[in-house]
Chains A and B, each alone.
Chain A
């Protein structure tokens, strides 16, 4: 269905049953009718519902232009940035289904609690550890070096949670770190200035880390930034194995 002015979109929106802190499965879909507009995004649709149909609808957004990563939701079964998803591309037969991200607890309706997602970045040692102070000269990182190229491939992650929501292993193993946290760890493993490589490799090894990845590649396929997340996890598998064989893990 094209975005004909005058036509109507039928939108099923997930509504949580409680006022907050409810489990992801606790709720129901509610259907709204929304007028079609040219170049309409899914976020436009959700905003229309909140402003014109039901002001109690809870959802999260900020920038509206694919920079902040806060408006990710599951649209017709796939996690996406709603602000960068045109209705024309996803509405089949004039219908949309909008749900909160999977694998995260729902705060209210379409807004999820991202705490576990970001806690795992910390658990994967996603913090940079350097040695230089601000009084010392800048470290020189050769732009053409292999390490820097690997960092370039993964550094643009904005933490939207689309990969985490799309990952089967997170669903099966709730303690699994997930693609984004390990992508962050991989950029730091390749950061020549970083001094916590050994601790970081230990943090991402094992059943809750890179070794649990089944290489389904849903994260890579769904990442709105097209980051090679599965390759980053494979890189961690290689480096942890090297560390294991050297007795450094």
Chain B
């Protein structure tokens, strides 16, 4: 991977961290509110189904995770295990694709009017 691409990954990880700093706080506050208010799963789904702002928020959250985590994991593996190169990049890219697919599926499941 070229230094330019490596610098691009670094920048993408920092930008996704900015999104995560906001999204994690909102997500935690929402969970605490839901638990303390005694909302049932059905009541939560009643609020999220068809709610486009919540879907866009969680879709953005998922994209930020799918960008941030594999880049960081790639660095951690390279530094602690000394494993580098194309196979590592392919594995972390596959992890990114998996996180994106599973995360978007989950976000869609709580948004889709009839369920996923």
Which A residues have a C-beta under 8 Å from some C-beta of B? 169, 172-173, 202-203, 205-209, 211-212, 237, 240-241, 244-245, 249
Specify which of B4, B7, B78, B79 lies most central, judged by the most chain A CB atoms within 10 Å of its CB.
B7
Q: Which of B7, B75, B78 contacts A241 (CB 8 A)?
A: B7
Kindly identify, within residues 50 to 93 of chain B, every residue whose CB is under 8 Å from any CB belonging to chain A: 75, 78-80
Q: How many B residues face the partner with a CB closer than 8 A?
A: 13
- B11→A241 contact, CB < 8 A: yes
Contact of B3 with A by CB under 8 A: yes
| Secondary structure class of chain A's binding surface, majority of residues | helix
- Cα distance, A32 to B91, chains bound together (Å): 52
Find chain A residues with CB under 8 A from B3 CB: 202-203, 205-209, 249
- Cα distance, A212 to B1, chains bound together (Å): 14
- B10→A211 contact, CB < 8 A: yes
| Secondary structure class of chain B's binding surface, majority of residues | helix
Find chain B residues with CB under 8 A from A173 CB: 78-79
Which B residues have a C-beta under 8 Å from some C-beta of A? 1-4, 6-8, 10-11, 75, 78-80
Residue in chain B with minimal CB distance to A249? B4
Residue in chain A with minimal CB distance to B80? A172
- B80→A244 contact, CB < 8 A: no
- Cα distance, A203 to B79, chains bound together (Å): 20
